[in-house]
Chain A
Amino acid sequence: MSVKPILSIKNLKKTYPNGVQALKGVSFDVKKGEFLVVIGLSGSGKSTMLRCINRLHEPTSGNLVFNDGKVEKDLAKIEKPAEIKWLRQNVGMIFQHFNLIPRHSVLSNVLMGKLSKTSTLKSLFGMFSDEDVAEAMKYLKLVGIADKAHIRADQLSGGQQQRVAIARALTQNPQILLADEPVASLDPATCHVVMDYLRKVNQELGITIVCNLHFLSLVRQYATRVVALKGGELVYEGDPKNIDEAWFEKIYGAGAKEVHIN
């Protein structure tokens, strides 16, 4: 018997209050340990999908069945704050614009990953345990910026900020890491550094990754599997190597040209 997918998305729909139908019934599985990349034109619903998975946005309907081998739960159905907390512990996220707290130190930002496991009172006074601090430092080392721990987050370059964001997400000890265009505001060289760290997280820590990307060259390099969205619907699911000319046109529309970055 094959292993159950860590996340099974079934007929996921999302209509925003302004009437925009961003997702029109998307279904696919996320396998444990894979580096899944989501591609699609701007506005196809990629960000919406990721935010529905960790419930930053409320899905309108559908199921998000999470199964890590121990617990099985529909993420779309949970309501209670405690359950939301549990979900966020298991599903970390990084963003295009990093979303760090600008005036706080790098370490303090990474410790945010422990907010859900710290009592409210303690966390408001910034009282994180020594183990938490040690763990935060461990992940800062993993992404190679432990020496910047006491610098203000907004003093770092974009690439460094994204690495801090990765460390923050890792500190949550998630099983799935969502990445919403993690390299879209970085230059090509920095972009590979960050993608390499994501691969390291995927391969060394075994964290499943679901990552939105814009550049197909990156997709071929890093993805183990690809899904494509178009107008809120799934139009492709498969191996990145099999995205040929015809598929490309189907996903991005006729006349689109592939841009290469190195």
Chain B
Amino acid sequence: MKSYVVRRSILDGFTFAFLIASLAVWIINPTDEQALNMRVNVALFAAAFILGTFVSHVLTKLKVTTLGESLFQPPYKKNKEAVAWYKTFSAWQLIVLLVGLMIVSIIKTKFSIYELLNEDGFNGAIRLFKGIGSPNFDILPKAILNIIETIFMAFLATALAIPFAFVLSFVSAKNVMTGKVGFSIYLAMRTLFNIMRSIEALVWAIIFSVWVGIGPFAGMLALMIHSIASLAKQYSEMVETVSEGPIEGVQSCGANKLQTIWYAIVPQVVLPYVSFTVYRWDINVRMATIIGLVGGGGIGTLLVQYQGQAMWPEVGTIIVVIAVVVWAMDQASAYIREALK
């Protein structure tokens, strides 16, 4: 089956099943026990989903363009004439879907104007803001010491990730990994990176804080793993866009694979590599702060300590320090990347 048909069916089927499920919940108003009954609910949802894909298929056969069809159909099938949006099925499908999503999410998040303006809560917030608004700069030296720890944690994570990502980037580039064996390695590497990246750095931090104990080392390892996967992916995408000319040129001289990579590909990708790496360090400083919250050390850990004791002026100081550093890193990395273009 063509892949766009699969995508269309999933989108349309999901839209359909979602609307059916929402309506059902609204009408039946199930008890907690019913809501937690996985097996039955999944079966019902799946049934609705299959019905939806079927409806989508029938509508497409009837030349009614569903949302999935209009989004995923190949260019040659695209309608050449301009049709007013309110006359199209897909536009109304989108509107119904968005309105449905909006309603359900308002219910699910217990959105409440009352809570937002409730006097007790409001006073609490005012106290917090007052505290934060008058930072206690006595702890400034301590905060600076901790953010230095964070910056170096991010630096080391980035630096240690570079050699791994550098080597892996060629192994996971389609134009380098030619042939059957090469292509399988390429696929395996890509999948591995996607899995590694889909596990958030925060989760890696939790894993490593159990493994090596709470502290900056755990945070550094978490960031390193995440950086290897992210950098390798970005690097390898650069490798895939290099121009073929120098590769042919060097190969025609009898260069082997390593020589070809080193002389024809590397010179074309060093600048983007440096640029990505600087940006990664910048991102890592920000992530390191968050990772500190779960025991990854540095300024984040300090922040949760004060927050736990409701010491808002101290929290205020830390927020200022973080803001200044993040802003400075952001500017510096932007200027460096600009200069490297």
Contacts and interface: CB of A to CB of B under 8 A. Distances in A.
A56 B251 contact: yes
A78 to B, nearest CB: 13
Contacts of B263: 101, 104, 112, 115
Interface residues of A, number: 30
B254 interface: yes
B264 interface: yes
A101 B264 contact: yes
Nearest to B248: A99
Contact of A165 (B249, B251, B256, B267): B249
Given A104-B267, A115-B259, A84 B249 contact: no
A100 B249 contact: yes
A103 B267 CA distance: 6
A85 B258 CA distance: 14
Interface in A115-156: 115-116, 120, 123-124
A92 interface: yes
A116 B262 contact: no
A95 B245 contact: yes
A81 interface: yes
A89 B251 CA distance: 11
Looking at B246, B253, B263, the one whose CB has the most chain A CB atoms below 10 A away is B253
B183 to A, nearest CB: 13
Interface string B260-278: 0011100110000000000
Nearest to B246: A101
B246 A100 contact: yes
A156 to B, nearest CB: 15
A37 interface: no
A106 interface: no
B214 interface: no
Interface string B214-250: 0000000000000000000000000000000110111
Interface in B97-120: none
Contacts of B255: 112, 115-116
Interface of B is mostly: helix
B79 interface: no
Contact of B253 (A97, A98, A124, A172): A172
B259 A88 contact: no
A99 B268 CA distance: 12
Nearest to B255: A115
A123 B252 contact: no
A56 B252 contact: yes
A165 B249 CA distance: 9
A102 interface: yes
B242 to A, nearest CB: 11
A257 to B, nearest CB: 32
A124 B252 contact: no
A54 B259 contact: no
A21 to B, nearest CB: 22
B254 A85 contact: yes
A172 B245 contact: no
A81 B246 contact: no
A148 to B, nearest CB: 18
B252 A92 contact: yes
A112 B248 CA distance: 12
Contacts of B250: 101, 112, 115
A120 B254 contact: no
Contacts of A169: 252-253
Nearest to B250: A112
B254 A115 contact: yes
Contacts of A102: 246, 267-268
Interface in A170-186: 172
Contact of A124 (B246, B258, B268): B258
A225 interface: no
A32 interface: no
Contacts of B253: 88, 92, 112-113, 115-116, 168-169, 172
A97 B245 contact: yes
A93 B268 CA distance: 21
Contact of A101 (B252, B254, B258, B267): B267
A95 B249 contact: yes
27 contacts: A54-B252, A56-B252, A85-B254, A88-B252, A88-B254, A92-B253, A95-B245, A95-B252, A98-B245, A99-B245, A99-B248, A100-B249, A101-B249, A102-B267, A102-B268, A103-B268, A112-B250, A112-B253, A113-B253, A120-B258, A120-B259, A123-B259, A123-B262, A124-B258, A124-B262, A168-B249, A172-B254
Closest 5 CB pairs of A and B: A116-B254, A99-B249, A88-B254, A93-B252, A99-B245
Given A87-B254, A115-B253, A124-B258, 7 more contacts: A88-B251, A101-B249, A103-B268, A112-B249, A115-B259, A120-B256, A124-B259
Interface of B: 245-246, 248-256, 258-259, 262-264, 267-268
